[in-house]
């Protein structure tokens, strides 16, 4: 995914979720990852960049100095990637139901997740565990911790 000329998220031509790094590429074309199956938020890159410049100035930094020139654009792309799942419907990951002949507890441990603290806008990560009381119709353990 890349920022399009009208400041919206546009799909890249890549088929995988692996980044391609080109050292000759300008910072505004740095690839970032977005769940290809989820609806995308409209991201106002210009507003984010302006806000980051204001923050830098408010803490006494010069956003026009060499080391910070591209920081507002980098932060805008980071936020676009980090908040890309806001419109995602969590239930779509558990929509598939199939018939199975078991009646035991299914436990999936150590499901990695990352999120954003709503109070400080800082990222955090963790591990989740899920327990499902399976009946004749259920979701397999591979689906409980699945991302898609």
Q: How many domains does the chain have?
A: 1
75: CATH: 1.10.286.10
Q: Considering the domain boundaries, does residue 6 fall inside one?
A: no
Q: Is the pLDDT of residue 8 over 60?
A: no
pLDDT tens string 83-135? 887 877 777 767 777 666 667 788 889 999 888 999 999 999 999 998 877 66
Q: Considering the domain boundaries, does residue 10 fall inside one?
A: no
Q: Considering the domain boundaries, does residue 121 fall inside one?
A: yes
Q: Considering the domain boundaries, does residue 103 fall inside one?
A: yes
pLDDT tens string 30-67? 555 555 555 556 889 999 999 999 999 999 999 999 99
Q: How far apart are CA 63 and CA 68, in angstroms?
A: 5
Residue 107 has what pLDDT?
86
Q: Considering the domain boundaries, does residue 138 fall inside one?
A: no
Q: Considering the domain boundaries, does residue 80 fall inside one?
A: yes
pLDDT band at 19 (very low <50, low <70, confident <90, very high): very low
End-to-end Cα separation, the chain, in angstroms: 18
Q: Considering the domain boundaries, does residue 50 fall inside one?
A: yes
Q: Considering the domain boundaries, does residue 15 fall inside one?
A: no
Tokens for 79?
């936020």
Domain that holds residue 81: 45-133
pLDDT band at 26 (very low <50, low <70, confident <90, very high): low
Tokens for 129?
């565990």
Q: Which residues of 104-131 are buried (b: 16+ CB within 10 A; e: fewer)?
A: eebebeeeeeeeeeeeeeeeeeeeeeee
DSSP-assigned states of every residue in 22-68:
-TTS-GGG------TTSPPPP--HHHHHHHHHHHHHHTT--TTSGGG
């Amino acid at each position: 995914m890349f920022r399009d000329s009208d400041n919206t998220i546009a799909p890249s031509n890549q088929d995988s979720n692996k980044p391609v790094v080109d050292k000759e590429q300008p910072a505004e074309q740095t690839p970032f990852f977005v769940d290809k199956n989820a609806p995308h938020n409209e991201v106002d890159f210009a507003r984010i960049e302006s806000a980051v410049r204001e923050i830098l100035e408010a803490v006494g930094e010069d956003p026009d100095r060499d080391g910070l020139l591209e920081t507002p654009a980098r932060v805008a792309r980071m936020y676009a990637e980090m908040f890309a799942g806001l419109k995602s419907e969590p239930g779509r990951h558990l929509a598939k139901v199939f018939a199975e002949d078991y009646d035991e507890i299914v436990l999936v441990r150590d499901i990695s997740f990352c999120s954003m603290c709503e109070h400080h806008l800082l990222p955090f990560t963790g591990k989740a565990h899920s327990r499902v009381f399976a009946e004749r119709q259920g979701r397999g353990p591979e689906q409980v911790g699945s991302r898609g």
